[in-house]
Amino acid sequence: MPRRRLSPALIDALRLVAPGTALRAGLERILQAQQGALVVLTSGQVGGIRSGGFQIDTEMTEQRLSELAKMDGAIILSPDGGRILWANVQLMPSPDITTQETGTRHRTAERTAHQLGVPVIAVSEDMRTIGLYVHSEKYRLQSIPTLLQRADQALATLSRYRVRLDELFKNLSQLELQDLVTLEDVGDAMSRFEVVRRIADEIHSFVLELGIDGRLIQLQLDELMVGVDGEGALLVRDYARSSRLRSYERCLHALSQLDDDELWSAESTARVLSLDGEGAARSLSPRGYRLLTKIPRLPAVVVDGLVRRFESLQRVRKANLDELMEVDGVGEGRARNIAAGLERLAEAGLL
């Protein structure tokens, strides 16, 4: 399946209900008391769907939220969850809004979130779950022990996939120096790169939901992802068809829309790189961005100049010092550094 990306609105709402916040503590107290609740985060303007209730306008605490949940009606909080505005409110969203929920409380929550465009929280007393609704999105909050366990498992998986990704990049670099790259080689690297990003996104959602308890998970995630996005961007710049060169962001979006079967298909990689119709065995030649950036003390502007002048890595390797010095910013010393750097990479079997 294509990976699910959390919307900015859902991310903001997750931060409001993360562990360590008063709102999350209040929701947990409601669960522990085996009660249900319907909580809306808005400025108090709930359109024409509010009926009854009474105005409070007081600071929100976990104790107050838990006590007010004993009443049947909804609780209206300020957008930041810091104040209780109304309690025991009856919500009457439009019944024409489609919902997949079956319980009355959850159906009301989903329709209210969709109609008002604000976060709505439904606590189920029977299922002992907390559902978060934002616009047309639904997210079920999980317990902290469950989240930590799943995050640890995902980190272990990410670590293994990152090792394999580094191996694929190293192998691709060796093939580039030998001018033996095929579309299948590039596709393997791009597919593994996207899988790593999908796992990282899943871990990031755990971190968001864990709040203050997710700091160590975030540190591990940051360490595992060092350099990944940079390598992916250079890979796209090396192989996307020059006449239809797609931006890195557009390629990432195209990759993210592929399902699991398409992700490992060379034909799908060809479409992402605007190489439609190319066979998996088709030979490809990199422009040289990825390997040229590995040469020490070589600014990005010089790398761009080299690629514009020579158009491929192999032509850069075959250029003599005088030809290299025709590029802006390349003097004799830098030209020698470029030639020696590429030679060192080739002799070392790279990286």
In degrees rounded to 5, what are phi and psi of residue 328?
A: -55, 135
Superfamily of domain 289-347: 5' to 3' exonuclease, C-terminal subdomain (1.10.150.20)
Other C-beta atoms closer than 10 Å to the C-beta of 249 total 10
Query: How do residues 289-337 score in pLDDT, each as one tens digit?
Result: 999 999 998 999 999 999 999 999 999 999 999 999 999 988 999 999 9
E-only strand ranges, 92-173 = 120-124, 129-134, 137-141
| CA Rg value for the chain | 27
**CA gap 56, 81 in Å, rounded:** 14
- Going from N- to C-terminal start, the domains of the chain cover 8-141, 145-272, 289-347
Residues of the chain with pLDDT under 50: 1, 243-245, 350-351
CATH 2.60.40.10 describes domain 145-272: no
**CA gap 279, 263 in Å, rounded:** 16
CATH 3.40.1700.10 describes domain 8-141: yes
pTM above 0.85, yes or no: no
Query: How do residues 145-193 score in pLDDT, each as one tens digit?
Result: 899 999 999 999 999 999 999 999 999 999 999 989 998 899 899 999 9
Per-residue model confidence (pLDDT) at position 244: 47
